[in-house]
Structure formats: structure tokens, C-alpha cells
């Protein structure tokens, strides 16, 4: 089994096709856009910067969150709290990351959005793992699996299963790592999820 060094987060990833010129164009449209279009533009800019400029990503995601709150779009606000939490995680600011994830979780609970809750539970587990709190991380991932089972979202279960495999691998529990990777692989194959099939197969070293 190959060494796994990356953990999976369920976050919205900006397209690589977004260039600096396109980002400048989006920024120039903000002053003349309506509120809903501003929300879309600010979110796209945050997604563009999240992989290369954390501070800029936080700036645009925060501005987008404020607009979302003005428009009373709770689902979008929850998503933006999640995105902000992940940027803080990447910056190494685990305390603020947890604050944002909790706000997202509170919103998902209020909306009775079980899939949203499972996504946040998964991300919190990775936050715990990064701090060396493996037992708590495993407990969170198992809770995410239970929530996804109850919600009927089988395909998304590949995420916590894969992350469980990663944690068990780094803990030296190779049988459990292999078991979780194989469960994730079975689900990925059912849904013909080629990116996850490729990733999980790579983890298994086959």
C-alpha cells in the first residue's frame, strides 16, 4: 500500500480554467452587479484564490457570506462558512476553522440537512486528525457514515470511508485501512465514480 500524504476534504474546488485575467474581469463586475450576482462573483473569486492566496480567499468568501446573509440565503451561508473553515484549516488556524465549521453545522442542523451535516462532520474529523486526535477523528467519521446512511446518500460515503482508511494507515492499522478503502472502492464502482476509483486504487497500491 502506498504512503498516503493527503487528506480528502469535501469542498468546492475552483476550475483551473479560471485565469488571472478572468479574476480581474469578475472583480470589475462587482460594483455594477445586483446583490445575487455579487454573491456569485464574490464566491467565484474566493474559489479562485483558495489555492494560491488564503488571505484573498478569506476576504472574498467573507464578503460573499455577508451578501448571502443580507439575502437571507441560509444554504449559501452554510456553504460559505464551510469554505471559510477549510481555508483557515489550510492556513493552520485550527481554532478559527472549528468556529466556522460549527457555524456551518448549526445552519445544517437548523435546515435538517443531513448530507450537509455529514460533510461538516467529515471536515471536523480531518481537523481533529491534523491535531493528532485520531480517536476523536475516527468517531466523527463513523458518525458521518451513520448520517449518510440515514440520509440515503450512498455515493458520498466514499469520503468518510477513504478518510478512515487514511487515518488507520497512518496509525499502522493496515487491515482496517484496507477494509475501509475496499468499502469505498465498492461504492465508487457502483456509481462509476472514476476519480475516486483511481484515487482509492492508488491508496491500495494496486
Span 55-94, pLDDT tens digits: 999 999 999 999 999 999 999 999 999 999 999 999 999 9
Provide CB contacts within 8 A for 60, sequence distance 6+: 42, 43, 45, 46, 49
State the CB neighbour count (10 A cutoff) for residue 29.
13
Q: Which three cell numbers stand for residue 184?
A: 469505498
| Phi then psi dihedrals of residue 12, to 5 deg | -80, 125
Q: Supply the pLDDT for residue 14.
A: 39
Q: Supply the pLDDT for residue 5.
A: 41
Q: What average pLDDT values come out for the chain (206 residues) when binned by 10 residues?
A: 47 49 89 95 95 95 98 97 96 96 95 91 90 92 90 90 92 94 95 90 81
Task: Report the C-alpha gap between 154 and 48 in whole angstroms.
Answer: 30
Q: Supply the pLDDT for residue 22.
A: 86
Task: Report the C-alpha gap between 49 and 125 in whole angstroms.
Answer: 24
Provide CB contacts within 8 A for 182, sequence distance 6+: 204
Provide CB contacts within 8 A for 54, sequence distance 6+: 87, 90, 91
Q: Which three cell numbers stand for residue 143?
A: 458518525
Q: Supply the pLDDT for residue 3.
A: 43
- Residue 196 falls in which region: left (phi positive, over 0), alpha (psi -120 to 50) or beta: alpha
Instruction: Single out the residue of 80, 161, 76 nearest to residue 118, CA to CA.
Output: 161
Burial-class residue 150 by CB neighbours within 10 Å (0-12, 13-18, 19+). exposed
Amino acid at each position: 500500500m502506498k504512503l498516503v500524504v493527503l487528506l480528502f476534504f469535501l469542498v468546492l474546488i475552483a476550475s483551473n480554467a479560471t485565469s488571472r485575467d478572468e479574476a480581474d474581469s469578475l472583480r470589475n463586475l462587482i460594483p455594477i452587479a445586483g446583490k445575487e450576482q455579487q454573491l456569485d462573483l464574490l464566491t467565484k473569486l474566493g474559489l479562485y484564490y483558495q489555492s494560491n492566496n488564503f488571505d484573498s480567499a478569506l476576504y472574498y468568501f467573507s464578503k460573499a457570506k455577508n451578501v448571502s446573509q443580507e439575502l437571507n440565503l441560509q444554504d449559501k451561508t452554510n456553504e460559505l462558512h464551510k469554505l471559510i473553515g477549510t481555508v483557515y484549516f489550510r492556513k493552520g488556524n485550527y481554532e478559527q476553522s472549528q468556529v466556522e465549521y460549527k457555524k456551518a453545522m448549526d445552519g445544517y442542523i437548523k435546515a435538517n440537512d443531513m448530507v450537509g451535516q455529514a460533510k461538516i462532520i467529515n471536515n471536523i474529523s480531518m481537523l481533529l486528525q491534523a491535531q493528532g486526535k485520531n480517536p476523536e477523528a475516527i468517531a466523527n467519521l463513523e458518525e458521518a457514515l451513520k448520517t449518510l446512511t440515514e440520509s440515503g446518500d450512498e455515493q458520498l460515503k466514499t469520503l468518510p470511508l477513504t478518510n478512515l482508511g487514511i487515518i488507520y494507515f497512518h496509525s499502522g492499522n493496515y487491515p482496517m485501512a484496507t477494509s475501509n478503502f475496499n468499502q469505498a472502492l465498492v461504492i465508487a464502482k457502483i456509481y462509476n465514480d472514476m476519480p475516486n476509483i483511481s484515487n482509492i486504487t492508488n491508496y491500495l497500491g494496486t
